[in-house]
Amino acid sequence: MKTQVICARLAALPCTLTAACALSTSFILPTSALARSSSDSLAESTLAATVVTAARVQQPLTDVVADITIIDRDTIERSGAGALADVLARVPGIEFSRQGGPGANTEFYLRGADTRFTAVFIDGVRVDSQSGSGGASWAALPLAQVERVEVLRGPAGAIYGSDAVAGVVHIFTRKGEGGFAPHAGIGYGSHETRKVDSGFSGKNGAWDYSIGYAHEKSDGYDARTDAGHNRDIDGYRLESANARLGLKLNADHRLEATLLESRTDTQYDSSTSARNNANRKDDHALRRLRTAALNWQAKWNAAYSTQLTVSEGRDRYETQADRVSNSLSETKVRSYLLNNELRIGASLLTAALERREDELDSMSTPPLSKRRSQNAVGLGYGLKRDSHTLQLNARHDQDSEFGGKSTGSIAYAYALTPQWRATASLGSAFRAPTLYQRFHPTYGNAALRPETAFNKEVGIKFDNKTSSGGLTVYQNRLDNLIFFDIPANRYQSTARAQLEGATLSGSTRVSRINLRASFDWQKPRDLDTGKLLKLRARRHANIGADTSVGSWTLGGEVSLSGKRYNDANNTVKLGGYGLLNLYASTHLGQDWSLLARIDNVADRNYTSVLNYATPGRTAFIGLKWTPR
């Protein structure tokens, strides 16, 4: 009853007042309080001593020049988020747009760049689609299996090859540590959302293991708002499972196998469905994501080590109307990676040989079945000495279809004081056109060349162990952008864009309250028209606070987004919005924990994509069992 009263009162507050209060709270923080977060935050974690994504090898966090955020499992669980996209939406530099609920089509924007310009990995396995414009299927990425996420902002083509134009998101599943450790959880929320998950992990002698399963189902809500659509509720179902098995052969050699599968069934209302009541269609989008990898890590001596990985990622997407298939495509991305590390004093040298094989099978007229491969060699040099940190990388990819592409990057950091560090970097990247874009029998264009990017950025970072933060200013120029030319009825690659902006983020602790905030000012625009790229706001921010009261952790967060345009011509404006979320968690005895969350407390009516609904106020409560 109290919660209803609070929600009702908050609903009466104007959105502008909510936003103003949140902003004023953040701006009164002194500059020295712009901080790296505690384990409760979605900013950079102080608990993460090493990262993998910045240079594709394990590095101390203090050796990393790149702009990176780390999200741990505790943060994910406290967030109460329904999907991985909802967790990442609170990370600096990231925006999402979604055509309905958690299982619906989801677009990911990192520093204003489209979905296809972020390389996504699960346990080192590349996740991508060669259908349409490409990119990871964010709606199919399961949250329950995730142990940790590393988000790298900025081009990394010289390390990862194609796709890493705006950055990299690397998802890690649970790994067995310590003794046998089971876990289980259940949850219930708005729209009849039900969740269950279970699993176990541990270590026994030379073996370590982790197995998990999760099931989620929701009745959902009516996904569309335009007149004449099918007025039904559009629910979803998601099942996911993962397994990770490691064997330590001896002190210097380790074998590991990983497997993950996720399946989603999402109802939606097709814009092409019949509009009269007698011919309503029951539309479903079926996604299946599978990743598998075998990995061998070898340390030959104190200075030299290697890693050999064979992996495959599969992305299958099908649409059905009244359970009859009307489109189907499947992508397979196989990778073979040999990575070498040589440490000489304060220097780290890396050399990588990588082969990538893409396959696309699509139900079109006539059917499309194409293959291609890329062979690459990459070199890297890192140095950490006194106040100086340097990272150099170069890579050459040879594609079986369009030939060679070279990329490079240089990043430098200088410690002004023990607490302050200045950074600067230059880097190039590219995205190869998808097999669908080049070879579709009707829309394809075999003459398409890779989309290219060149990024410049500078930053300043502060860290005094209890408070930290930073400011990064960037400019990323994109050329040969691929788009669908309606008059020509096929894909072309003559567009240009520029992504420029600044990200300010940090956190600190004031008395018993943890504070965190991130602000993004950006101008992602089409260089030919001068218009803003669609569905991206010029300004967006996230502000959060949490504290402990007895055995409870209480927290809240505000998400703010400025106006956006739904079209490339900037004629259809979507208004800005501010959302307030509240959460609370506590331990019930030694082995049980309880989480409660209310999103969009004020029940604000806002639009992410024109003609698609957003969920309004939602609540969720979960119970978790983790024996200690």
Q: In this predicted model, what pLDDT tens digit does every residue of 310-348 receive, in sequence order? A: 999 999 999 998 888 889 999 999 999 999 999 999 999
Scan for tokens 């968690």, then name that residue. Answer: 585
pLDDT at 564: 96
Into how many domains does the chain fold?
1
Whether residue 7 is contained in a domain is answered as no
**What average pLDDT does the segment 2-26 reach?**
35
- Kindly list the distances between the CA atom of residue 337 and the CA atoms of 59, 105, 150, 375, in Å, as whole numbers in the listed order: 19, 31, 20, 10
How many Å apart are CA 504 and CA 69, to the nearest integer?
Answer: 13
Please give the pLDDT value at position 625: 95
Weakest-pLDDT range from 244-253, 269-278, 503-512, 527-536: 269-278
The pLDDT assigned to 52 comes to: 92
Q: Which residues pair with 368 in a beta bridge?
A: 362
Is the per-residue pLDDT at 432 higher than 90?
yes
Please check whether residue 102 lies inside any domain of the structure.
yes
Q: Above 90 in pLDDT, residue 50?
A: no
pLDDT at 411: 97
Average pLDDT over residues 355-383: 94
Task: Give 343's contacts (C-beta < 8 A, 6+ positions apart).
Answer: 302, 303, 304, 349
At 402 the pLDDT is: 87
Task: Quick: pLDDT tens for 194-246.
Answer: 999 999 999 999 999 999 999 999 999 988 888 877 888 899 999 999 999 99
Within 10 angstroms of residue 96's Cβ, the number of other Cβ atoms is: 17
Mean pLDDT, residues 59-74 taken together: 89
Q: Is residue 3 part of a domain?
A: no
Query: Is there a domain that residue 4 lies in?
Result: no
In a domain, 328, yes or no: yes
Residue ranges of alpha helices (H) inside 29-179 are 73-79, 84-88, 157-160
Give the CA angle between residues 546, 48, 394 to the nearest 5°. Answer: 130
pLDDT above 70: percentage of residues in the chain? 90
pLDDT at 326: 86
- The pLDDT of residue 226 is 86
Specify the CATH number for the domain of residue 482.
2.40.170.20
Predicted confidence at residue 323, as pLDDT, reads 84
Whether residue 46 has pLDDT greater than 80: no
Q: Which of 132-136, 233-237, 364-368 has the lowest mean pLDDT?
A: 364-368
Q: Is the pLDDT of residue 14 over 50?
A: no
DSSP code for 501: E
Task: Specify the residue for token string 């300004």.
Answer: 539
Q: Determine the Cα–Cα distance for residues 525 and 94; give it in Å rounded to an integer.
A: 16
Band (pLDDT 50/70/90 cuts) for residue 33 is very low
pLDDT in tens, 568-585: 999 999 999 999 999 999
Mean pLDDT for the stretch of residues 519-544 = 96
Contact yes or no for 385/374 (Cβ under 8 A): no
> Mean pLDDT lowest for which of 252-256, 303-307, 387-391, 486-490?
486-490
pLDDT-based confidence at 38, cuts 50/70/90?
A: very low
Q: Is the pLDDT reported for residue 36 higher than 50?
A: no
User: d(Cα 556, Cα 552) in Å, to the nearest integer?
Assistant: 13
State the pLDDT at residue 405. 96
Q: Band of the pLDDT at 617, cuts 50, 70, 90?
A: very high
Q: What is the pLDDT of residue 271?
A: 63
| Distance of alpha carbon 405 from alpha carbon 394, whole angstroms | 11
Q: Tell me, what's the pLDDT at 279? A: 61
Full residue range of the structural domain in which residue 404 is found: 13-625
Q: Is the pLDDT of residue 84 over 60?
A: yes
Q: Is residue 2 domain-resident?
A: no
Q: Is the pLDDT of residue 182 over 70?
A: yes
The Cα–Cα gap between 168 and 185 comes to 30
| pLDDT tens, position by position, 380-425 | 999 999 999 999 999 999 999 889 999 999 999 999 999 999 999 9
Looking at residue 61, its pLDDT comes to 83
Give the model confidence (pLDDT) of 245-277 as tens digits: 999 999 999 999 999 999 999 998 876 544 444
- pLDDT greater at residue 307 or residue 81: 307
Q: What is the Cα–Cα distance from 162 to 240, expressed in whole angstroms?
A: 28
Count the helix, strand and coil residues of the chain and give each as a percent rounded to the nearest 5.
Answer: 10, 60, 30
In the prediction, which pLDDT does 77 show? 81
Q: Is 8 within a domain?
A: no
Rounded to an integer, the average pLDDT of 599-607 is: 94
Q: Tell me the pLDDT band of 10, cut-offs 50, 70 and 90.
A: very low
Residue-level pLDDT at 272: 53
Average pLDDT of the residues in 172-182: 93
At 83, the pLDDT band (50, 70, 90 cuts) reads confident
The pLDDT assigned to 86 comes to 84
DSSP E strands in 322-447: the ranges are 324-344, 347-362, 368-385, 388-399, 403-415, 420-431
Note the pTM of the prediction, 2 decimals.
0.90
d(C-alpha 543, C-alpha 525), whole Å = 26
Whether 554 maps to a domain, the answer reads: yes
Residue 253 Ramachandran class (φ > 0 left, ψ -120 to 50 alpha, else beta): beta
SS3 sequence of 580-594: EEEEEEEEECCCEEE
